[in-house]
């Protein structure tokens, strides 16, 4: 075992509930990491991956205890070290990069000071040497103006910048091992791609071992050499990254990979039934209740993590031979279900020149000569056909949520008209007649927040029924509730449950049932799957598609995940800083010619394929507000033409004589097409991505280093 | 297999309980909370029944038995006028409990509803009333109570209304802050987007959530109110003698504390056990509801 | 930031104005008037009328309010009718005495509360925490007169360490005042410590469960450095405002402790003022206490703005 950096041996961790019941979190985990190796630890929420990561640093959440096994870091058994000895390992030999960098930096200490602390504690440097090292580190993580950044407080940095600062802190002592706990979750795709590139470079430069914890298989495929898959507190498959994605041997691994929407395959992926058990509650295989290969032995006997025919491919399954009998790539292509779409030609909603602003002049502002800031959303003209799914895509701050809130009547439009059945939707909800309200329903991202925790499902579903169908009596409403629950594939008995008693997927189904209780024409879906695990996401997408087919409902679908959009949408509108960039059908948007911003977004996508490499075009510098004049993307655009882009709003250009695909750019369509071809050629020539990303995009640093609040308005 | 399914069923049956039952479950497991609840219940029982069982007539003066130390006949001894301190201590909380219990209900009701409304409207009216509330709170609380009591008189129902009004001002702030937390939540946005009326939003969406905060605040407020009420009667602005009352008893019997300390200890023990009981209960109640009782002074 | 402070200042002035209105009207509504109370049994219609004339009690209410407010702004609190002296003179020394009491209690109490609160927070649910928290519940919620009475019984009557009541005139020098006020200071300190330590404890627990403390631990920061550099500053920020509120609140209730110990302070004077229906006196005291309350809050706001980097760097609206 001497060649291992970390050796986790039969580790079992659990805690006692208030009722003195033992709950397991990890069950007999075995895992080894070699020096310089990158291990991807993947699993859905609640599988124990974060607990395992923290245990490697000798850290347990309060209340948890080690029930068996050991964790060796080099020579040391971390759970037998005293706190002094632990302090000397943590940060110096093994460092953590946590999920939420913003919350992990002490708010009252300057960023530089916190990095200095790590240097002084762990790298035996002090005074000006330490300070130089701090600035060097900030530069190494590619933060612009390291001297200035070091003087800032954590809240003055954007999310991506905070994450870089935390990485710098972890690198202070050049540790032998980094543990990364979902470090890019919650960041925009372009920022995520930049950070992952940075990490890859650092690791290859310094030879650091990494354990990368994530639920996102695209990220795992991008960074890992080896992948370990967790399910219900156990490691169920552990193998080389290519094997894991090309030849998964555990039925759960296959199910998981099959549930991810893919850019290369059209349609809605397969979903897995059921949900994971509490670790240690199944007498046999923990996946047996959900598995299609289940045999008698699976129910009675727990499988061991065994090597497949002497290879390094380990799997915890009784029937792996049966699983491997089918070729995975063929199986994958078969599970995608294409939906037949039946969009009508008439429009359901027509927006013309819509502008929306959050700016409300105060009393004192009226006397100031300052001009009004540019509107958050402006110049939106598009029509949504009946029965189709229109997706609004863009990073945070692109105005997609703002538009949907206006459609829902939570925010008035400042200018323009929104036509829905001869009614103008630019007014707030209290000025709309009841029937209009009924026809437009909204589903939120996070069902935890959108369901009242004090109402049970029956009460939740009763609200729209009472409001829109006042003639219904109690029994009719009750029958309707059961019918709605069945339509979202939930048992009628769920009526008596409270939100706290359901899983995330079940809650989102209830939220969908509530929207459909109104019998709406249009349903606005605001990131409805992004808070869910992938296996659940597929099921929800599938449900939405079915409901649409039954009732020809129109969907306006917001998502930041372009693969999800590809799976469910008919047409796509790409937004940047509240302005439209590109508009077209799914096929048109996902193939050239691209708007430079669309190209940036698509290039940054990570797909669950270890051979795929993202293309980084523009920098990930966040912007506070749209520019006052010209193209909204001017500051980040890699192809900017200079003055014309800064001064004039670009024209809409159609890409073909037929169809509606249009791009809003000063660069001509022919030029955009040609540029893309040229790049393909260069890519074949030398396989290097943009090493030096452009840093500050415009001179005014006040704007480029935005406050994080501005990101998620 | 059987054990697995059984345990699964058990968890689901436990899970199916309504939030209220769950709160009670949590509360029952806290020894401090149960002790507090017991103390409160015992106090209410004593207040309700003491006139029927106290050993001595609490109003009976006796020139021969003045300042007597505790004895079998007089468990806490007698006071300056020869009255039985034990009997008076048992009866001394009657007015206090009735006034504060009704007043706290009034405070929660008017302060809570106004607070929720202000949080929901969040406009000019909100701004104006909150200024007024701030101003009221910056007047020393004792002075405010003294002035109102001096203006309105010390009749029981007047005092009840006074306390209900004054302490309701504190509730406005709490209810408003709690409402503001929920007004921007997605379930309220969702109700607004449906086109629900304001009344429905308050009653169905906000109230059930703010309710917990209000109940916890009410139970805390109760102990502040007791503090205020007994302080007033300590200063002689409370229950008119000879009706026994803890605050006034402590004030008067202090004079003989050197020779007959139990004349003071009697009411002190009664008052303290009630207040400690309320606080132990409030703490456990807040925890059982998943709220943290972090506020310090009632400001 | 300066705009933010400016806004607070304007708000404070507005609040103070409303307070003055409420106080004036409230006191005006008191039954009876000073003249009757002052002359008592010997009052004749003539003497009443002349007294009222002398003190301007016959003018309409709004006129008297404006006169009074004008005086207050200039520092003139009017004339006490019962004592026949300017209110400012009456308040002078007694205000100083109350200030001595409160300052002494604050100087001992605030540091003690922080230390105990931090200890309780660090030892959450273990015996030091349980002990400190339980005691603080009693200290916080038992009325001041109960705490004071218990202290007097044990320390003055039984042990005879300190005098039970203060028997000095209101204008003795501070140094002579001090030995007399050990018990009142202890009483006030106990209540204050209880209030503040509970809050420090809660904030400390919040901070200790935060991601950045976990991060500090995993970064290898030694325990006490973690407590003092990472946890304490963040736990103290929300405490500042509550310390101010607690101080102000205690000042409002200080009258009870002063009465128990017969201490010549402003609170005792306030109660005399109410019993005597001495309008000008009560109004004067009320406005002074309100100014202190608002000033303390203002100071706390500014202080937390200076100490909190999030507020300090805010560009202000």
pLDDT tens, residue by residue, B8-21:
333 343 345 667 77
Average pLDDT along chain C: 82
* pLDDT, position A574: 95
* Six token digits for residue A260: 């991810």
In chain B, domain spans: 19-54+65-90+244-293, 94-242
Residue C152 preceded by cis peptide, ω within 30: no
C60 occurs within a structural domain: no
pLDDT of residue A365: 56
Report pLDDT for C42. 65
A658 to chain B, any CB pair closer than 8 A? The answer is no
Reference B292, options C198, C196, C117; nearest CA is: C198
Q: Residue A637 phi/psi, 5° resolution? A: -65, 130
| 2-21 in chain A: CB under 8 A from chain B | 18
- Whether C157 is in a domain gets the answer yes
Strands A652-654, A306-307: pairing kind: unpaired
Q: For residue B54, count other CB atoms closer than 10 A to its CB.
A: 17
Percent share of chain B, pLDDT over 90: 20
Query: Which positions ≥6 away from B244 have C-beta within 8 Å?
Result: B58, B87, B88, B89, B91, B92
Give the model confidence (pLDDT) of A428-437 as tens digits. 888 899 889 9
What is the reported pLDDT for A595?
A: 92
What number is the average pLDDT over the span A611-617?
Answer: 83
The residue of chain B nearest to residue A434, with distances taken between CA atoms, is: B195
Confirm whether C93 is domain-assigned: no
Averaged pLDDT, A493-516: 90
Q: What is the reported pLDDT for C54?
A: 67
Q: What's the pLDDT band for C35 if we cut at 50, 70, 90? A: low
**Helix or strand holding residue A544 (H, E):** helix A534-551
pLDDT for residue C140: 80
Question: In this structure, what DSSP letter does residue A340 have?
Answer: P
pLDDT higher than threshold 70 for residue C317: no
**pLDDT average, residue stretch B255-259:** 84
Nearest CA to A267 out of A559, A591, A512, A569 is that of A569
- Chain B CB contacts of C199 below 8 Å: 294-296
% of chain A beyond a pLDDT of 70: 93
Q: Where in chain A is the domain with CATH 3.40.50.300?
A: 1-93+176-224, 347-573
| Residues in chain C closer than 8 A to B129 (CB atoms) | none
Q: In what helix (H) or strand (E) does residue C119 lie, and over which residues does it extend?
A: helix C87-122
Q: What is the DSSP letter of B64?
A: G
The bridge status of strand A226-231 relative to strand A38-42 is parallel
**Of A397, A360, A347, A391, the residue nearest A377 (C-alpha):** A397
Whether residue A445 has pLDDT greater than 70: yes
The closest alpha carbon to A584, from A388, A401, A349, belongs to A388
* pLDDT, position B64: 79
CB A452 within 8 A of CB A443: no
Q: Are B87 and B58 in contact (CB under 8 A)?
A: yes
Per-residue pLDDT for A49 more than 80?
A: yes
pLDDT at C313: 66
Contact partners, residue B127, CB within 8 Å, separation at least 6: none
Chain B residues whose CB is inside 8 A of the A456 CB are 18
At A171-219, the pLDDT tens digits run: 888 899 999 999 888 788 888 888 898 888 888 888 899 999 999 999 9
Which of A231-245, B202-216, C178-192 is modeled with the greatest confidence? A231-245
Q: Which CATH superfamily is domain B94-242 in?
A: MetI-like (1.10.3720.10)
How many domains does the structure of chain C reveal?
1
Tell me the pLDDT tens digit for each residue of A354-372.
999 887 765 555 555 556 7
A440-443 and A76-77 as β-strands: parallel, antiparallel, unpaired?
Answer: unpaired
What's the gap between Cα B121 and its chain centre? 29
| pLDDT tens per residue across span C226-262 | 999 999 999 888 888 888 888 877 777 788 888 888 8
pLDDT value of position C133: 85
Is the CB of residue A422 less than 8 Å away from at least one CB of chain B? no
Work out the average pLDDT over C128-138.
85
Better-predicted residue by pLDDT, A123 or A286: A286
**Residue C47 forms part of a structural domain:** no
Q: Is the pLDDT of residue A467 over 90?
A: yes
Decide if A483 contacts B3 (C-beta within 8 A).
no
The chain A residue lying nearest B187, using CA atoms, is A450
Q: How confident is the model at residue B291 (pLDDT cuts 50, 70, 90)?
A: low
Name the pairing type of β-strands A347-356 and A306-307.
unpaired
| Residue A704: per-residue pLDDT | 36
Mean pLDDT for B262-275 is 90
The yes-or-no verdict on residue C148 having pLDDT over 50 is yes
By Cβ distance, the residue of B186, B194, B205 closest to A444 is: B186
Tell whether domain A347-573 is in CATH 3.40.50.720. Answer: no
pLDDT score of C117 more than 70: yes
Residue C152: pLDDT band (50, 70, 90) is: confident
Would you call C214 and A98 a contact, using CB atoms and an 8 Å cutoff?
yes
* pLDDT number for residue C169: 72
Q: Which of A378-392, A465-479, B131-145, C197-211 has the lowest mean pLDDT?
A: B131-145
Query: Who has greater pLDDT, A360 or A681?
Result: A360
What would the mean pLDDT of A13-31 be, rounded to a whole number?
Answer: 87
Q: Is the pLDDT score of C315 beyond 50? A: no
| Cβ-based interface (< 8 Å): residues of A facing C | 54, 57, 59, 62, 83, 86-92, 95-96, 98, 100, 103-109, 117-118, 121-122, 153, 155-156, 166, 169, 362
Residues in B closer than 8 angstroms to C146, CB to CB, are: 250, 268, 271-272
How would residue A244 be classed by pLDDT, with cut points 50, 70 and 90?
Answer: very high
pLDDT at B3: 33
- Could you tell me which chains touch chain A, where touching means 3 or more CB pairs under 8 A? B, C
The band of B55, judged by pLDDT with boundaries at 50, 70 and 90, is: confident
Confidence of residue A708 (pLDDT cuts 50, 70, 90): very low
Residue A437 has its nearest CB partner, among B19, B194, B200, at: B194
Indicate yes or no: CB of C137 within 8 angstroms of CB of B146.
Answer: no
Q: Could you say which DSSP state residue C124 is in?
A: T
CB A271 within 8 A of CB A536: yes
| Mean pLDDT (chain A, rounded) | 86
- Residue B4, pLDDT score: 34
Burial (CB < 10 A; 0-12, 13-18, 19+), residue A82, is exposed
Contact A463 B196 (CB under 8 A): yes
Distance CA A530, CA A188 (A): 13
Domain with C245 in it: what CATH number?
1.10.3720.10
Q: What is the pLDDT averaged over residues B43-66?
A: 84
Residues 6+ apart with CB under 8 A from B90: B46, B50, B54, B58, B270
- Residue C181 above 70 pLDDT? yes
Q: What's residue B130's pLDDT?
A: 87
A1-93+176-224: which CATH number, 3.40.50.300, 3.40.640.10, 3.30.110.30, 3.40.1350.10?
A: 3.40.50.300
- Cα distance between residue A309 and residue B197, in whole Å: 67
Q: Which of A514-528, A615-629, B122-136 has the lowest mean pLDDT?
A: A615-629
Q: Which is more confident, A371 or A477?
A: A477
C123–chain A Cβ distance below 8 A for any pair: no
Statement: residue B183 has pLDDT above 80? yes
Decide if A261 contacts A538 (C-beta within 8 A).
yes
Q: What is the mean pLDDT of residues A392-398?
A: 88
Q: Which residues pair with A29 in a beta bridge?
A: A11
Q: Which of the residue ranges A84-88, A442-446, C31-35, C284-288 would you say has the lowest mean pLDDT?
A: C31-35
Distances in whole angstroms, Cα of residue B16 to Cα of each of A378, A408, C7, C232? 48, 34, 51, 41
The answer for C268, left when phi > 0, alpha when psi is -120 to 50, beta otherwise, is alpha
CA–CA distance, C280 with C30 (Å, rounded to integer): 12
Q: In A93-228, which residue ranges form alpha helices assigned H by DSSP? A: 101-104, 111-122, 127-140, 146-150, 159-171, 189-206, 217-223
Chain C residues closer than 8 Å to B223 by CB: 141
Q: Which two tokens stand for residue A353?
A: 């020149």
Determine how many CB atoms are found less than 10 A away from the CB of residue C237.
Answer: 20
- Specify the pLDDT at position C55: 65
Complex ipTM tops 0.90: no
Chain segment B122-153, per-residue pLDDT in tens: 777 888 888 888 888 888 888 888 888 888 87
pLDDT tens track for B75-120: 888 888 888 888 888 888 889 999 999 999 999 999 999 999 888 8
What's phi and psi for A209, nearest 5 deg? -80, 150
Check A434 against B195: CB less than 8 A apart.
Answer: yes
**Nearest to residue A96, comparing CAs of A165, A161, A171?**
A171
- Tell me how close the Cα of A652 comes to any Cα of chain B, in angstroms: 33
Residue C186: give the domain boundaries: 99-277
Q: State the average pLDDT over residues A513-542.
A: 90
Q: Which chains touch B (3 or more CB pairs under 8 A)?
A: A, C
List pLDDT tens digits, range A547-567: 998 888 999 999 888 999 999
Asked whether residue C169 is assigned to any structural domain, the reply reads yes
């Amino acid at each position: 075992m001497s060649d291992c950096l970390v050796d986790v041996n039969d580790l079992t961790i659990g805690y006692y509930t208030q009722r003195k019941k033992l709950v397991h979190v990890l069950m007999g985990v075995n895992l080894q990491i070699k020096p310089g190796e990158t291990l991807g630890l993947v699993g859905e929420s609640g599988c124990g991956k974060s607990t395992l990561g923290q245990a490697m640093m000798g850290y347990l959440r309060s209340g948890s205890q080690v029930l068996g096994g050991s964790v060796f870091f080099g020579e040391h058994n971390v759970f037998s070290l005293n706190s002094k000895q632990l302090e000397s390992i943590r940060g110096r030999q093994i460092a953590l990069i946590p999920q939420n960098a913003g919350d992990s930096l002490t708010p009252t200490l300057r960023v530089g000071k916190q990095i200095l602390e790590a240097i002084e504690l762990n790298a035996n440097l002090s005074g000006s040497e330490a300070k130089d090292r701090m600035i060097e580190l900030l530069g190494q993580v590619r933060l612009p103006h390291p001297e200035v950044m070091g003087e800032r407080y954590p809240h003055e940095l954007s999310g991506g910048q905070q994450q870089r600062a935390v990485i710098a802190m972890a690198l202070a002592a050049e540790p032998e091992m980094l543990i990364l706990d979902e470090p890019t979750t919650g960041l925009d795709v372009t920022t995520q791609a930049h950070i992952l590139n940075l990490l890859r470079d650092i690791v290859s430069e310094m030879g650091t071992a990494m354990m990368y914890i994530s639920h996102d298989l695209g990220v795992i495929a991008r960074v890992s050499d080896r992948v370990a898959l967790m399910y219900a507190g156990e490691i169920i498959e552990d193998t080389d990254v290519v094997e894991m994605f090309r030849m998964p041997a555990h039925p759960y691994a296959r199910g998981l990979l099959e549930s991810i929407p893919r850019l290369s395959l059209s349609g809605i992926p397969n979903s897995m039934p059921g949900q994971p058990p509490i670790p240690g509650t199944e007498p046999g295989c923990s996946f047996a209740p959900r598995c299609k290969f289940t045999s008698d032995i699976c129910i009675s006997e727990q499988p061991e993590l065994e090597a497949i025919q002497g290879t390094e491919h380990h799997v915890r399954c009784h029937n792996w031979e049966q699983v491997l009998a089918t070729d995975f790539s063929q199986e994958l292509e078969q599970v995608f279900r294409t939906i037949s779409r039946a969009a009508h030609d008439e429009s359901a909603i027509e927006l013309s020149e819509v502008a929306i602003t959050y700016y409300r002049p105060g009393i004192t502002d009226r006397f100031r000569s300052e001009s009004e800031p540019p509107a958050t959303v402006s110049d939106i003209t598009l029509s949504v056909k009946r029965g189709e799914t229109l997706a609004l895509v863009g990073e945070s701050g692109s105005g997609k949520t703002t538009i949907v809130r206006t459609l829902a009547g939570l925010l008035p439009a400042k200018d323009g008209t929104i036509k829905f059945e001869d009614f103008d939707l630019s007014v707030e909800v209290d000025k709309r007649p009841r029937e209009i309200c009924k026809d437009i329903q909204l589903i939120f991202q996070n069902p935890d927040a959108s369901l009242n925790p004090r109402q049970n499902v029956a009460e939740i579903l009763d609200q729209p029924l009472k409001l829109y169908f006042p003639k219904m009596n109690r029994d009719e409403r009750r029958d309707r509730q059961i019918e709605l629950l069945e339509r979202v594939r939930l048992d009628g008995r769920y009526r008596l449950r409270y939100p706290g008693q359901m899983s995330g997927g079940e809650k989102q189904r209830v939220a969908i049932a509530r929207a459909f209780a109104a019998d709406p024409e249009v349903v606005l879906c605001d990131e409805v799957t992004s808070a869910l695990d992938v296996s659940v996401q597929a099921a929800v997408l599938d449900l939405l598609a079915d409901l649409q087919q039954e009732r020809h409902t129109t969907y306006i679908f917001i998502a930041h995940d372009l693969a999800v959009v590809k799976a469910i949408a008919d047409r796509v509108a790409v937004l940047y800083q509240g302005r439209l960039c590109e508009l077209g059908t799914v096929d048109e948007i996902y193939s050239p010619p691209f708007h430079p911003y669309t190209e940036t977004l698509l290039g940054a996508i990570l797909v669950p394929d270890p051979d795929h490499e993202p293309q980084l075009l523009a920098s990930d510098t966040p912007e506070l507000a749209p520019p006052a004049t010209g193209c909204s993307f001017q500051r980040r655009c890699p192809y900017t033409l200079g003055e014309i882009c800064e001064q004039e709003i670009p024209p809409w250009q159609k890409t073909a004589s037929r169809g509606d695909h249009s791009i809003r750019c000063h660069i001509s369509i022919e030029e955009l097409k040609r540029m893309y071809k040229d790049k393909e050629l260069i890519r074949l020539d030398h396989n290097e991505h943009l090493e030096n990303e452009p840093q500050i995009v415009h001179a005014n640093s006040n704007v480029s280093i935005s406050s994080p609040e501005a990101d998620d308005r | 297999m059987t054990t697995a399914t059984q345990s699964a069923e058990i968890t689901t049956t436990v899970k199916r309980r309504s939030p209220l039952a769950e709160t009670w479950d949590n509360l029952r497991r806290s020894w401090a909370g149960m002790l507090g609840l017991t103390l409160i219940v015992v106090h209410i029982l004593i207040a309700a029944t003491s006139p029927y069982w106290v050993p001595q007539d609490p109003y009976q003066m006796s020139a021969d038995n003045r300042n007597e130390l505790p004895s079998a006949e007089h468990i806490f001894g007698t006071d300056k006028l020869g009255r039985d301190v034990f009997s008076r201590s048992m009866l001394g909380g009657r007015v206090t409990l009735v006034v504060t219990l009704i007043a706290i209900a009034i405070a929660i009701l008017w302060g809570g509803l106004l607070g929720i409304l202000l949080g929901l409207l969040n406009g000019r009216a909100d701004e104006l009333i909150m200024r007024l509330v701030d101003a009221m709170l910056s007047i020393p609380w004792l002075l405010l109570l003294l002035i109102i009591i001096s203006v309105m008189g010390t009749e029981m129902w007047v005092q009840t209304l006074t306390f209900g009004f004054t302490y309701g001002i504190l509730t406005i702030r709490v209810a408003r802050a709690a409402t503001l937390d929920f007004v921007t939540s997605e379930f309220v946005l969702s109700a607004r987007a449906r086109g629900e009326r304001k009344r429905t939003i308050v009653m169905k969406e906000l109230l059930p959530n703010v309710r917990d905060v209000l109940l916890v605040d009410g139970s805390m407020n109760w102990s502040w109110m007791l503090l205020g009420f007994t302080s007033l009667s300590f200063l002689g602005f409370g229950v008119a003698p000879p009706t026994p009352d803890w605050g006034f008893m402590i004030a008067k019997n202090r004079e003989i504390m050197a020779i007959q300390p139990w004349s003071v200890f009697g009411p002190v023990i009664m008052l303290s056990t009630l207040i400690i009981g309320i606080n132990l209960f409030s703490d456990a109640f807040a925890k059982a509801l998943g709220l943290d009782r972090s506020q310090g002074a009632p400001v | 930031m300066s705009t933010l402070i400016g806004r607070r200042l304007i708000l404070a002035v507005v609040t103070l104005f409303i307070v003055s209105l409420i106080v004036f009207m409230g006191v005006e509504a008191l039954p009876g008037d000073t003249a009757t109370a002052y002359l008592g049994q010997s009052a004749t219609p003539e003497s009443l009328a002349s007294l009222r004339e002398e003190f301007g009690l016959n003018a309409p209410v709004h006129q008297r309010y404006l006169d009074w407010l004008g005086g207050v702004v200039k520092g003139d609190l009017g004339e006490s009718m019962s004592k026949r002296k300017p209110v400012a003179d009456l308040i002078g020394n007694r205000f100083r005495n109350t200030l001595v009491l409160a300052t002494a209690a604050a100087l001992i109490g605030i540091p003690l509360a922080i230390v105990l609160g931090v200890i309780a927070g660090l030892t959450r649910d273990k015996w030091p925490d349980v002990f400190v928290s339980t005691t603080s519940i009693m200290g916080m919620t038992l009325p001041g007169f109960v705490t004071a009475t218990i202290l007097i019984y044990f320390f003055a009557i039984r042990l005879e360490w300190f005098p039970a009541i203060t028997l000095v005139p209101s204008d003795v020098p501070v140094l002579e005042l001090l030995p007399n006020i050990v018990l009142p200071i202890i009483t006030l300190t106990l209540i204050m410590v209880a209030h503040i330590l509970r809050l420090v404890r809660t904030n400390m627990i919040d901070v200790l469960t935060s991601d950045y403390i976990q991060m500090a631990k995993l970064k290898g920061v030694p325990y006490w450095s973690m407590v003092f550099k990472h946890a304490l500053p963040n736990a103290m920020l929300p405490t500042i405002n509550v310390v101010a509120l607690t101080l102000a609140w205690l000042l409002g209730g200080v009258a009870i402790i002063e009465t128990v110990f017969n201490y010549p302070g402003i609170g005792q004077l306030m109660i005399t003022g109410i019993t005597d229906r001495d309008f000008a006196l009560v109004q004067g005291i009320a406005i002074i206490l309100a100014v202190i309350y608002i000033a303390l809050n203002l100071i706390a706001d500014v202080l937390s703005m200076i100490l909190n980097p999030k507020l300090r760097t805010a560009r202000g609206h």
